[in-house]
Amino acid sequence: MKIAFAPAYRVRLLIIFFMMALVISGITAIPLQWELSILDRLLGMQSFAASIWPSLGEWISRVNSGVQNGYGQYPFLAYGTDWLAFAHVAIAALFIGPLRNPVKNLWVIEFGMIACVSIIPWVLIFAPLRGIPLFWMLIDMSFGVFGIIPLWFVRRDILKLAKEP
């Protein structure tokens, strides 16, 4: 059984989903020190998971050590991830316009799509300069790949709405 949603309803639903994803991914940057300590216990070098995927375990433990030592000695470094979180929340707020008037604010959806596509060259340029391993680069690029999917459907449905009398 196929469930069909009206384009206007689907547009709003997908925009809310996209906004929530942005806010959640941003907010998770704030308690990074605590999150990495947990992730290190679960996937780091001392975990069972590291016996299955050693390079992931090494990377998680290395990042955790860097954050714990960096934030411990220089707590102002955490301010950079606080700003990252703020940027996610601020960008999510931008999507209130399309929630109110999707046709008039189509440009916001297209802005989001451009940002999603731009993630790929951004990662390909800066990740190697920072010593980020390939598997983590793929994870970072997946935000753009998966982010553009709901926005593509939103754009398609907004264009349909724009043609309606």
Q: What are phi and psi of 103, to 5 degrees?
A: -65, -45
pLDDT for 30-83, tens place per residue?
999 999 999 999 999 999 988 999 999 999 999 999 999 999 999 999 999 999
| pTM for this prediction | 0.89
Sequence-ordered list of residues with C-beta below 8 angstroms from that of 18, at least 6 positions apart, any chain: 92, 95, 112, 147, 150, 151, 154
- Position 142 scores a pLDDT of 96
> For all residues of the chain together, what is the average pLDDT?
94
> Nearest Cα to 61, choosing from 43, 34, 81?
43
* Token pair for 44: 């780091």
